Amino acid sequence: MILEIIEQIAILLFVPPLFIGIINKMKAWAAGRKGAPLFQFYFDLWKLLKKGEVYSRTATWIFTAGPIISLASIFCAGFILPLALSSSPLGFKGDIILFAYLLAFGHFFILLSALDTGSSFEGMGASRGAAFSAFSEPAFFLSLAILCIHAKSVTFKDVFHALPWATWGFAHPVYLVAALALFAVLLAENSRIPVDDPNTHLELTMIHEVMVLDHGGPDLAFILYGSSLKFFLQAVLLVHLLLPLPSTNWYFGIFYLFIGVFGVGILVALVESAVARIRLSRVPQFLIGASILAVLGLILSFYKGAP
């Protein structure tokens, strides 16, 4: 058990930047470019960690604390989510709700530290970030609720145990609906292309990038690593939903999970390469659509004789 906890820490520490690297490489290939090295994100983080910080005179302690608290809460969420074997170091009854709100709490502190800089530009970004996460939260929470209803439990362990083999099959369209809603949330929450473009520095369109413009050095490294960790965790959730782990062997489970997560990464990269970013005023509609899909799944779960 101790060994598994150490391994979970190691995975949470070292794999998420690789996940981002795979997405970027895949996007570059899809566009016919060579792309940055697979491990570029590690080099960036290392470079940022070696630098010093510059703080604005208007900033208070919230600005300094924001990235640290955000990273800490996302890391705690990583301890709650079972990686393989459907058991986690910190699993307890009702941990799904804590997981969802730890992720939201991390986001909230990024917003606070963006507001704390006193720059109107970052305030605008924080407002966008708050609005869009308010729209994506019902979709996220309702799709988790679908899983909880089918497992009759609010614990990750029971939920993952209750998932049938081959959730992608025709027999269980409810799970497909939930997975679709979760995928939309994954794209929106991690500032991926239909909602936000992770590459642009164009003021009109940025959401996540705007909020972190005034951070530098280790603070920025914490934020970047925290957002990659959040992305990784949500991808893991999606993989658990679509490919329920067949084995009780920890190492095989982790191997299976990695293949699934990298599959999600490739899927995200393909979506990013194929789809155009939607207009900012249409983003709420995209997220409302995801929420309505989740509501449809919820209705299906309560409907008698449901498939």
Partner 1 sequence: MIQDANFILLIVIVLDLYIVSSSRLDTCVNATALQGAALAFLPFALWWKQASSGEMIGLLLIGAGTFVVKSLLIPFLIFRSIREANVRREVEPSISLHFSLFTAAVFVAGSFWMASIVVFPQSPPASLIVPAAFVGVLVGFLLLVSRQKAITQVVGYLILENGIFIFGQILFKELPFIVELGILLDLLVGVLVMGIAINHISRQFDHIDVNRLDELKG
Q: Which residues bind partner 1 (CB under 8 A)?
A: 170-171, 173, 177, 284-285, 288-289, 292-293, 295-296, 299-300, 303-307
CB of 305 to partner 1, least distance (A): 4
Contact (Cβ atoms closer than 8 angstroms) between residue 174 and residue 111: no
Is 176 buried (19+), middle (13-18) or exposed (0-12) by CB count in 10 A?
Answer: middle
Toward partner 1, which CB reaches closer, 10 or 306?
306
Amino acid making up residue 101: Y
Q: Is 288 exposed, middle or buried (0-12, 13-18, 19+ CB in 10 A)?
A: middle
Whole-angstrom Cα distance, residue 119 to residue 122? 5
Residue 142 CB, nearest approach to partner 1 (Å): 12
CB of 132 to partner 1, least distance (A): 14
User: Which one, 173 or 216, has the nearer CB to partner 1?
Assistant: 173
Q: Indicate left, alpha or beta for 287 from its phi (over 0: left) and psi (-120 to 50: alpha).
A: alpha
13/306 with CB nearer partner 1 = 306
22 versus 295: smaller Cβ distance to partner 1: 295
Q: Concatenated DSSP letters for 10-65?
A: HHHHHHHHHHHHHHHHHHHHHTT---S-TTHHHHHHHHHHHSPP---TT--HHHHH
From CA 69, how far away is CA 73, in angstroms rounded?
A: 6
Shortest spacing between CB 295 and partner 1, in angstroms: 6
Tokens matching residue 22:
């795979």
d(CA 247, CA 266): 24
| Shortest spacing between CB 281 and partner 1, in angstroms | 10
DSSP strand E in 110-182: where? none
Smallest separation (angstroms) from partner 1 to the CB of 271: 16
| Three-class SS state of 76 | helix
> Which residue lies nearer to partner 1 by CB, 5 or 171?
171
Minimum distance of partner 1 from residue 164's CB (angstroms) = 12
Determine the 3-state secondary structure of 199 from DSSP.
coil
Q: How many CA atoms lie within 13 A of 200 on its CB side?
A: 13
Q: Would you say 91 or 138 has its CB closer to partner 1?
A: 138
> Does residue 126 sit in helix, strand or coil?
helix
C-beta closer to partner 1: residue 175 or 222: 175
